[in-house]
Amino acid sequence: MIEALHEILSADRVATDDDALQNWGRDWTRNFPVAPSAVVFPERIEEVQALVRLANREGLALVPSGGRTGLSGAAVASNGEVVVSFDRMNRILDFNPADRLVRCQPGVVTANLQAFAEEQGLYYPVDFASAGSSQIGGNISTNAGGIKVIRYGMTRAWVAGLKVVTGTGELIDCNRGLMKNATGYDLRHLMIGAEGTLGLIVEAEMRLAEAPQPQRVMVLGVEQFPDILKVLERFQRHISLSAFEFFSDLALEKVRAHRDLRAPLATPSRFYALVEFDESALDLATEAFEATVEAGWVADAVLSQSEAQARDLWQLREGISESISGYTPYKNDLSVKVAALPGFLQEVDALVSESYPDYEVCWYGHIGDGNLHLNILRPAEMSVAAFHEFGHDISPGIFELVQRYDGSISAEHGVGLVKRDFLSYSRSDAEIALMRGIKAVFDPNNILNPGKILA
Ligand code: S2G
Ligand code: ZN
């Protein structure tokens, strides 16, 4: 198989040493075996097509790999697969100012696209903590969300065109960056969020947004969980927010232990809401804040007085994931409609506190999008394997609740391996059968990331 790979790629672009296999054979998950047979680094679309044709001929499985910041195991290779890394397809190809489109290769790091957009006086509005290492191809394959979704939507909203190599080695050019194109099924949207199981993204045309106005950040202390939603409603009544996040006192404690950051308020609070809005809405935000104090939902708040302070306040939220990663937390990334949040939060809080009283549970997330990150922290004395088995056993309880609220068991982190066995809590049998049919059409020999999303 290695010789066959060398017929396609020069030797320096085929790695089989253990360091490479361990490094490129996984994403951020730590509870799956990492055992690819090789890692390859294509530089051109034709090489990706040749790899897919080879995989079909030899019955090889290919696992696409980008920034490896995924949280669902979608980029893990545990069964001798060949990892296709897009690290060397990392160029911004061109910029079209009239359509505000950037044509880029899949290996472009998200932060580099954000910086490129700023250089053009524009803005790439999908942002999250791992943007410094995640890649555009992976962001598209998982339809990455992050902290600005409430105003700008998910990655899906910014993909204008996609070149994809399908499971048979066909190169398809989806939508070609057109704003309008009413010519049948939009295959671009099948590829977005498909986690590399329907095709390998080899080029993307990303739309850019107008540069945002100067922003202000407010962090408010909230004592009662359900009051967070009343605060959301009061702010949203007159303001188009650019972010509405929340985190618990435990999350704050972990971030401050991990990073040298001051507490946001003089008096500690059980929960914190982080609100971001255009500076021009400051009076309305101040009014909303006063109303939340009068209503007794909020005791205190801090308003950013500088960019630096705004960044520090954001760190309290964006630093959570990295600060708790040492606990290899059992992550839940749940979503329900915003209208369903009050009842859902009440019930999931009761369920979590009665089911696992002796575990530390970190609550945080993009509550303005109805998205809750509920992370159960691994006790020091418990092994990762035992802890993830525990997580797997308690999930049905949480997912039954999500199902009852017509929610999603994976709001933004994807399915991969981690949520695969629970898919039916959020997708019907009919839908799963249709998804299998689509998989068979695009990847008839099941060589593209087999076992991810669909067992
Ligand atoms: C967040 C980041 C990934 C994680 O902080 O919003 O989506 O660790 C997360 O949960
Ligand atoms: Zn998130």
Chosen domain end from 188, 210, 232: 210
| CATH number, domain with residue 21 | 3.30.43.10
- Mean pLDDT (whole number) for 3-21: 97
- Mean pLDDT (whole number) for 423-439: 98
Q: What total number of domains does the chain contain?
A: 4
**Domain containing residue 374:** 328-431
Q: Which single residue is written with the structure tokens 């932060």?
A: 111
- Name which residue sits closest to atom 4 of ligand 1, judged by CA: 321
| Residues 313 and 270 reside in one and the same domain | yes
Q: What is the chain's alpha carbon radius of gyration, rounded to the nearest angstrom?
A: 22
Grouping H, G, I as helix, E, B as strand and the rest as coil, residue 77 is coil
| Residues 197 and 266 reside in one and the same domain | no
Contact yes or no for 349/229 (Cβ under 8 A): no
pLDDT at site 353: 87
Report the Cα 3 to chain-centroid distance in Å.
36
- Mean pLDDT (whole number) for 304-308: 97
Ligand 2 centroid to Cα of residue 16, in Å, is 34
Report the Cα 359 to chain-centroid distance in Å.
25
The yes-or-no verdict on residue 260 having pLDDT over 90 is no
Grouping H, G, I as helix, E, B as strand and the rest as coil, residue 247 is strand
Q: Which of 226, 188, 218 is nearest to 205 (CA)?
A: 188
Please give the share of the chain, as a percent, with pLDDT higher than 70: 100
Q: Which of 41, 12, 9 is nearest to 24 (CA)?
A: 41
Chosen domain end from 33, 63, 85: 85
Ligand 1 centroid to Cα of residue 321, in Å, is 5
| Residues 22 and 121 reside in one and the same domain | no
| CATH number, domain with residue 408 | 3.30.70.2740
- Say how far apart CA 119 and CA 302 lie, in whole Å: 31
Poorest-confidence range of 18-22, 203-207, 358-362?
358-362
Helical spans, DSSP H, in 239-324: 249-258, 282-294, 307-318, 320-324
Q: Which of 223, 200, 247 is nearest to 295 (CA)?
A: 223
Q: Which of 169, 262, 163 is nearest to 206 (CA)?
A: 163
236 by Cβ neighbours in 10 Å (0-12 / 13-18 / 19+) ranks as: middle
Q: What is the pLDDT of residues 361-373, one digit of tens each?
A: 999 999 999 999 9
In a domain, 448, yes or no: no
| Residues 233 and 309 reside in one and the same domain | yes
For the chain, what is the mean pLDDT?
97
Q: Which amino acid appears at position 182 of this protein?
A: A
Ligand 1 pocket residues where CB is under 6 Å? 71, 129, 320-321, 331, 373
The yes-or-no verdict on residue 394 having pLDDT over 90 is no
Contact yes or no for 374/334 (Cβ under 8 A): yes
Grouping H, G, I as helix, E, B as strand and the rest as coil, residue 56 is helix
Chosen domain end from 156, 187, 210: 210
Ligand 1 centroid to Cα of residue 374, in Å, is 10
Ligand 1 centroid to Cα of residue 69, in Å, is 10
| Residues 198 and 98 reside in one and the same domain | yes
- Name which residue sits closest to atom 7 of ligand 1, judged by CA: 146
- Mean pLDDT (whole number) for 74-102: 98
| Residues 223 and 196 reside in one and the same domain | no
- Name which residue sits closest to atom 10 of ligand 1, judged by CA: 321
In a domain, 355, yes or no: yes
| Residues 175 and 248 reside in one and the same domain | no
Q: What is the pLDDT of residues 41-52, one digit of tens each?
A: 999 999 999 999
DSSP class of residue 81? P
In a domain, 293, yes or no: yes
pLDDT at site 213: 97
| CATH number, domain with residue 251 | 3.30.70.2190
In a domain, 452, yes or no: no
Q: 283 falls in which pLDDT band (50, 70, 90)? A: very high
| Residues 282 and 348 reside in one and the same domain | no
